[in-house]
Amino acid sequence: QKAGQLFSGLLAMNVVFLGSAFICCMIFNHVAITLADVWILLSILKVVCLCWIIYYLLGTSRQPHAVLYRDSHAGAIWIRGSVLLFGGFSILLNVFQIGYSTILIHCKSRVEILFPAIGIIFICTQAYFLWHHSKDCIQVQHNFTRCGLMLTIATNLLLWLLAVTNDTIHMEIESQLREVERRFAGKAPFHIPICNETTLCTCPNTTMCKVFQKGYILLYPFNTEYCLVCCSVLYVMWKNVGRRITHHHVPDTKPKFKVHGVVFGPLLGAAAVIIGTCVFMLYQIQTTGLVPSRQTFVMYYSYYIVLLPLMSVGAVIGTIIHALEKKELDTLKNPTRSLDVILLMGAALGQIGMSYFSIVALVATDPGDLLNSLILSYSVLLIFQNITQNVFIIDGLHRQRFVAAPEAKHTGHVGQHTVAAELPGEEETTRSSEQEHTQTSPGKEEDTKDEQNHETYNQRRVSVIELGQEIRKASLSYIHSYSHLSWKRRALREISFFLVLCNIILWVMPTFGAHPAFENGLERSFYGYSTWFVIVNFGLPLGVFYRMHSVGGLLEVYVTA
Amino acid sequence: QKAGQLFSGLLAMNVVFLGSAFICCMIFNHVAITLADVWILLSILKVVCLCWIIYYLLGTSRQPHAVLYRDSHAGAIWIRGSVLLFGGFSILLNVFQIGYSTILIHCKSRVEILFPAIGIIFICTQAYFLWHHSKDCIQVQHNFTRCGLMLTIATNLLLWLLAVTNDTIHMEIESQLREVERRFAGKAPFHIPICNETTLCTCPNTTMCKVFQKGYILLYPFNTEYCLVCCSVLYVMWKNVGRRITHHHVPDTKPKFKVHGVVFGPLLGAAAVIIGTCVFMLYQIQTTGLVPSRQTFVMYYSYYIVLLPLMSVGAVIGTIIHALEKKELDTLKNPTRSLDVILLMGAALGQIGMSYFSIVALVATDPGDLLNSLILSYSVLLIFQNITQNVFIIDGLHRQRFVAAPEAKHTGHVGQHTVAAELPGEEETTRSSEQEHTQTSPGKEEDTKDEQNHETYNQRRVSVIELGQEIRKASLSYIHSYSHLSWKRRALREISFFLVLCNIILWVMPTFGAHPAFENGLERSFYGYSTWFVIVNFGLPLGVFYRMHSVGGLLEVYVTA
């Protein structure tokens, strides 16, 4: 097993290195290796992956005893949902690209229609494959399947790398264009069409072309997310190849997502989202205008400085509640969760690294200035927020479901049981206290009527009262413990719901083009253009992925709280 | 336990990020943050680590029940030996630095004497600590110890980062100087003194100063290695905090390193080392001269092209023998080995990545040229060699000692037992066949003398012959299996000894200044100066560390084969 993993890992490593060397060549030496060469390499990889996926769907998975076990933790519904969602947007992106290339066919080669077409087929097949087979623990053709999975992972990673570098190159072009515009600002503000591939080819002034162009720019971020999500699902599948799951794992728990019972989290979160959207729109209007004003940045950073401490406090309280709960830790082997933890920590590194670079730059220049001090506190708070949120999510992912597992064998529906566990508990206690009343009141009637068998009655009465007291005591402690548990649960749910909404807005803002770390120009002038560009280039896509991934993690914490 | 690991990991991450942001600032913006600032930060970290180490030595480790278990796999003798060796060189380096600064005291600040002094104390204390406590599985003050260890790891990593960037900056300066020299070559070849800190301060023409300067440059690589080795030992200690080892682990196996029994490996390896040294000296003489000629590079790459296939073939044969042996795999938890595997794979990435970048650059330019095709095949072979050697070492590390473990309980000396296992085996078989003879020959004498109890005798004789045949059969199969095993063992030892020597020479060459990837100028002109510089900056120190680390791994394979 180890040998197979090692071999397929080496295969993927070689493919990734070769591909990234190609992409780097393309970036640093446009003449020797063009974007078309990179596309040819990636298309070949895509076709090979397609062949393997089709073989898997039609051959491997249909063999007898191929899929004996399914990993219930793998391929959660929101992961698969996001694969479909981002896959859909990526297909749309490719359609736009085809349309755009068709309009500009006079100055583009025909191959630029072929590549997106291959891309569409690849995305469709892969999404179908991941939707249906993400839980598989395949038991036949181990090594071949591992190699296929690793090749697909490598292809997705390379697609992501290309998308990220292309995206940031696009950002760079835009930023340079804006500077050009700024210089001409006093004279005649004119519009320079942004063209992704070649600057020779300009878009004719038709609505169709503008729509394609704008859609292309808007949909681009989804493509990068799609590649990363696919990678993580494929990696879990790779870890699950040949895995035999004991029956302890088997109960297919599907906790349902229900909103009832939480009030403050959604309200606060919605407020954050609404204010964030306003801030984002103002920011976008201001920065796409000619001179991004200082006030825009002050507004943007102030929003963060208000929001981030709230999120950190929420995460800290959540962690404390987790510690109070003293639930049993779930220490069973679970590749999905290990990957989640690694991805959370790894993706956070991008944001944290960028923040530290900002801090050093700002402290070294002039921390007294208003904007500088705002950015400084923003960076410090961001680091703190990332760390506390990671601790909260990791803690939450390790305390799961397994409290309900022993009871689950009787009831059969674990998920509904854990979610609805509060209500039957309280019903039971009210019923038992009613029973208690009905037991003690006949006792009083008997007291006045019969006096002959006083001794025996007294004994009975004492025992009845004792029984009643005991039942009352038990039910009180039951109510107490339940309301106690329910209070903790409710707090956890409020917090995680709030954090989910906050992370969504913090995910939307950089995804759709708010890059203040690049646009404010402070760090850029400190480190120099190209160095800061490389840092942002590493940090920003990871930061975006981090927000998306923590939304997934927080949803899991919410559902299982 | 997980919480403590998470917390200390986060601490180290933050320290590392802060420090690397400082170092990057220093590189890209000399004005705002100077080398002195970075040294102040590192000295503070060193002092904090020193305090913790002293507290550990005097406080924590002397508490009752502090060290109940010791991890026998951790802190192998060559690891601790290399800590001492590299530590010694690093101290010498710091002494030279102090001497150098003292001579140039008129133009340098006094702080530049203080920093190396702190460095010396830190290196001494750390080396003492690692020599005596690297096997500890500490059972008290878990979290505090974890934080201390992680802080020390972070400090070492930052020292490494600073050393690497400084080293390469030094390389860059040298390379630029050489180009300047080359331009003036026709007119008057003059000598530009290499000054590491500031170009304002030049060395007076005394022998002392020259010695300090040259020694400083020569000893520099050892310092980087020292930091990395310390990091790996400290990491294993960190993983062992709070670990309870079952008695299955306890037998303190110390296989001895014996050379006898291997012939071809040392011979071939020594030849490789001698030829390599000649090539390296010729290369150094040529490249430190004014115009590094084409022939120098052809010679250098040809040496590699001859050596690398030999090494790859050796590693492949070794892997096949490992597969044939069908020893039980050692799957017990062993942090040292997991770390070894990760470090091997991770460090190989540097070399492999650089090779892929070379390949793409060379294929894109002109693969027909003699030197280009040499570099191309060198790169391909290097990738292949790295991968095969990694597979061989990882395979070897997982097949260990545990065959001898059940017998070890009786003999007590496992290590000597496994090493000397061949001889007693063969002695036993000869003894048993002698016994067989003495048993059958009295049978023949009885045959001629007694005839009265023929029936009973015949039965006895048949049974004796049967017994004899069975013993002979068993002993034959014993001899067969033993000579078989011994043949395999001998081959494994020959191969690993050869690979050890090859890796030593491949480690020495880049460590002492042969950087053809930078000096041949082909990739540099393709990717542009700064990009290729960054790539080499990442790849080269990892490559050097890889060679050193694989020497350790191969020695382990040799001893346990």
Residue B434 has pLDDT above 60, yes or no: no
**CA–CA distance, A289 with A189 (Å, rounded to integer):** 10
Per-residue model confidence as pLDDT tens digits over A48-86: 999 999 999 998 888 888 787 888 778 778 888 889 999
Please state, rounded to an integer, the average pLDDT across all residues of chain A: 77
Å between A520 CA and nearest CA of chain B: 18
Confidence band, pLDDT 50/70/90 cuts, at residue A169:
low
Among A43-57, A433-447, A529-543, B211-225, top mean pLDDT goes to A43-57
Report the candidate in A113, A114, A108, A288 with the shortest Cα–Cα distance to residue A199: A108
The whole-number pLDDT of residue A55 equals: 93
Mean pLDDT score, B55-64: 87
The whole-number pLDDT of residue B386 equals: 94
Per-residue model confidence as pLDDT tens digits over A544-553: 889 988 998 8
Least confident span in A68-77, A342-351, B179-188, B470-479: B179-188
The whole-number pLDDT of residue A381 equals: 95
B353 CB within 8 Å of a chain A CB: yes
* Structure-model confidence comparison of residues A345 and B412, the more confident one: A345
* Nearest beta carbon to residue B365 from set A32, A329, A526: A32
* Nearest beta carbon to residue A360 from set B22, B387, B530: B22
Smallest CA–CA distance from B356 into chain A, residue: A18
Residue A478 has pLDDT above 80, yes or no: no
Smallest CA–CA distance from A363 into chain B, residue: B32
B25 CB within 8 Å of a chain A CB: yes
Torsional class of A138: left (φ above 0), alpha (ψ -120 to 50), beta (otherwise): beta
Q: Encoding tokens for residue A89?
A: 């947007």
Q: For residue A394, which residues of chain B lie inside 8 Å, CB to CB?
A: 6
Confidence band, pLDDT 50/70/90 cuts, at residue A411:
very low
List the single best residue of A29, A319, A342 to mutate versus B (max B Cβ within 10 A): A29
Mean pLDDT score, B68-89: 85
Q: Encoding tokens for residue A87?
A: 């896959």
A34 CB within 8 Å of a chain B CB: no
Please state, rounded to an integer, the average pLDDT across all residues of chain B: 77
The whole-number pLDDT of residue A413 equals: 39
The whole-number pLDDT of residue A257 equals: 60
Å between B378 CA and nearest CA of chain A: 16
A10 CB within 8 Å of a chain B CB: yes
What part of B 275-334 touches A (C-beta under 8 Å)? 329
Confidence band, pLDDT 50/70/90 cuts, at residue B376:
very high
The whole-number pLDDT of residue B415 equals: 37
Residue A250 has pLDDT above 50, yes or no: no
* Nearest beta carbon to residue A17 from set B18, B29, B352: B352
Residue B436 has pLDDT above 70, yes or no: no
The whole-number pLDDT of residue A392 equals: 92
Residue A130 has pLDDT above 90, yes or no: yes
* Structure-model confidence comparison of residues B15 and A225, the more confident one: B15
The verdict on a CB contact (< 8 Å) between A357 and B21 is yes
**CA–CA distance, A342 with A362 (Å, rounded to integer):** 30
Looking at residue B169, its amino acid is I
Q: List C-alpha distances in Å: B286 to B190, B299, B524.
A: 17, 11, 20
The verdict on a CB contact (< 8 Å) between A360 and B25 is yes
The whole-number pLDDT of residue A37 equals: 86
Residue B114 has pLDDT above 70, yes or no: yes
The whole-number pLDDT of residue B536 equals: 83
B356 CB within 8 Å of a chain A CB: yes
Confidence band, pLDDT 50/70/90 cuts, at residue B249:
very low
Mean pLDDT score, A143-151: 92
Q: For residue A364, which residues of chain B lie inside 8 Å, CB to CB?
A: 25, 29, 32-33
Q: List C-alpha distances in Å: A359 to A297, A374, A537, B25, B463.
A: 17, 11, 18, 11, 90
Strand-strand pairing, B67-70 and B136-138: antiparallel
* Nearest beta carbon to residue B356 from set A21, A357, A383: A21
Residue A95 has pLDDT above 80, yes or no: yes
The verdict on a CB contact (< 8 Å) between A364 and B13 is no
- With tokens 């006949």, the residue in question is A442
Q: For residue B20, which residues of chain A lie inside 8 Å, CB to CB?
A: 353, 356
The whole-number pLDDT of residue A196 equals: 42
* Nearest beta carbon to residue A33 from set B14, B24, B364: B364
The whole-number pLDDT of residue B410 equals: 41
Confidence band, pLDDT 50/70/90 cuts, at residue A200:
low
Least confident span in A444-453, B49-58, B149-158: A444-453
List the single best residue of A11, A14, A22, A28 to mutate versus B (max B Cβ within 10 A): A28
The verdict on a CB contact (< 8 Å) between A18 and B383 is no
Mean pLDDT score, A139-152: 91
Smallest CA–CA distance from B29 into chain A, residue: A527
The whole-number pLDDT of residue B195 equals: 39
Least confident span in A109-113, A138-142, B200-204, B524-528: B200-204
Confidence band, pLDDT 50/70/90 cuts, at residue A476:
low
Alpha carbon of residue B331 to chain centroid? 23
Smallest CA–CA distance from B387 into chain A, residue: A10
The whole-number pLDDT of residue B48 equals: 95
Residue B191 has pLDDT above 70, yes or no: no
**CA–CA distance, B92 with B408 (Å, rounded to integer):** 44
The verdict on a CB contact (< 8 Å) between A13 and B531 is no
The verdict on a CB contact (< 8 Å) between B356 and A29 is no
Coil vs helix vs strand at A69: strand
Angle (CA) A552-A557-B2 rounded to 5° is 100
The whole-number pLDDT of residue A403 equals: 43
The verdict on a CB contact (< 8 Å) between A21 and B527 is no
Do the Cβ atoms of A488 and A403 come closer than 8 Å?
no
The whole-number pLDDT of residue B446 equals: 46
Looking at residue B438, its amino acid is T
Q: Is the pTM of this model over 0.80?
A: no
β-bridge mates for residue A248, sequence order: none
The whole-number pLDDT of residue A285 equals: 83
Buried b (16+ CB within 10 A) or exposed e, A70-98: bbbbbbbeebbebbebbbbbbbbbbbbbb
What ranges in A134-263 are assigned the alpha helix state H?
142-183, 207-240
Q: What is the DSSP string of A488-556?
A: HHHHHHHHHHHHHHHHHHHHHHHHTT--HHHHS-HHHHHH-HHHHHHHHHHHHHHHHHHHHHHHHHHHH
Q: For residue B394, which residues of chain A lie inside 8 Å, CB to CB?
A: 6
Per-residue model confidence as pLDDT tens digits over B384-408: 999 999 999 988 888 755 444 333 3
- Percent of chain A residues past pLDDT 70, beyond the cut: 73
Residue B370 has pLDDT above 80, yes or no: yes
Per-residue model confidence as pLDDT tens digits over A202-219: 666 677 877 887 777 778
Q: Encoding tokens for residue B417?
A: 């037992």
Q: For residue B530, which residues of chain A lie inside 8 Å, CB to CB?
A: 530
* Nearest beta carbon to residue A527 from set B28, B394, B398: B28
Least confident span in A110-124, A329-343, B384-398: A329-343
Report the candidate in B360, B308, B357, B408 with the shortest Cα–Cα distance to residue B518: B357
Confidence band, pLDDT 50/70/90 cuts, at residue B460:
low
A526 CB within 8 Å of a chain B CB: yes
Strand-strand pairing, B136-138 and A136-138: unpaired
Least confident span in A299-313, B66-80, B146-160, B397-411: B397-411
The whole-number pLDDT of residue B311 equals: 94
Per-residue model confidence as pLDDT tens digits over B503-555: 999 988 888 777 788 777 788 888 887 778 778 877 888 888 899 889 988 98
- H or E element that contains B533: helix B529-560
Confidence band, pLDDT 50/70/90 cuts, at residue A405:
very low
Torsional class of B242: left (φ above 0), alpha (ψ -120 to 50), beta (otherwise): left
Confidence band, pLDDT 50/70/90 cuts, at residue B437:
very low
Smallest CA–CA distance from A13 into chain B, residue: B349
The whole-number pLDDT of residue B14 equals: 92
- Percent of chain B residues past pLDDT 70, beyond the cut: 73
The verdict on a CB contact (< 8 Å) between B13 and A352 is yes
The whole-number pLDDT of residue B523 equals: 83
Report the candidate in B90, B82, B75 with the shortest Cα–Cα distance to residue B551: B82
Do the Cβ atoms of A386 and A550 come closer than 8 Å?
no
The verdict on a CB contact (< 8 Å) between B364 and A25 is yes
Q: Encoding tokens for residue B488?
A: 């395999």
**CA–CA distance, A391 with B191 (Å, rounded to integer):** 58
Å between A221 CA and nearest CA of chain B: 27
Residue A424 has pLDDT above 60, yes or no: no
Å between B465 CA and nearest CA of chain A: 48
Mean pLDDT score, A99-123: 85
The whole-number pLDDT of residue A400 equals: 59
Q: For residue B21, which residues of chain A lie inside 8 Å, CB to CB?
A: 353, 356-357, 359-360
A342 CB within 8 Å of a chain B CB: no
The whole-number pLDDT of residue A318 equals: 92
Q: For residue B2, which residues of chain A lie inside 8 Å, CB to CB?
A: 329, 398
Looking at residue A37, its amino acid is D
The verdict on a CB contact (< 8 Å) between B391 and A6 is yes
The whole-number pLDDT of residue B99 equals: 86
Q: Encoding tokens for residue B101?
A: 């600064």
The verdict on a CB contact (< 8 Å) between B28 and A359 is no
**CA–CA distance, B208 with B213 (Å, rounded to integer):** 9
Do the Cβ atoms of B194 and B513 come closer than 8 Å?
no
Å between A21 CA and nearest CA of chain B: 5
Mean pLDDT score, A126-141: 89
- Percent of chain A residues past pLDDT 90, beyond the cut: 27
Least confident span in A287-291, A333-337, B414-418, B556-560: B414-418
Smallest CA–CA distance from B352 into chain A, residue: A17
- Percent of chain B residues past pLDDT 90, beyond the cut: 27
β-bridge mates for residue B207, sequence order: none
The verdict on a CB contact (< 8 Å) between B24 and A359 is no
**CA–CA distance, A537 with B10 (Å, rounded to integer):** 23
A391 CB within 8 Å of a chain B CB: yes
Q: For residue B349, which residues of chain A lie inside 8 Å, CB to CB?
A: 13, 17
Per-residue model confidence as pLDDT tens digits over B156-186: 999 988 887 776 666 655 665 565 555 555 4
Do the Cβ atoms of B90 and B123 come closer than 8 Å?
yes
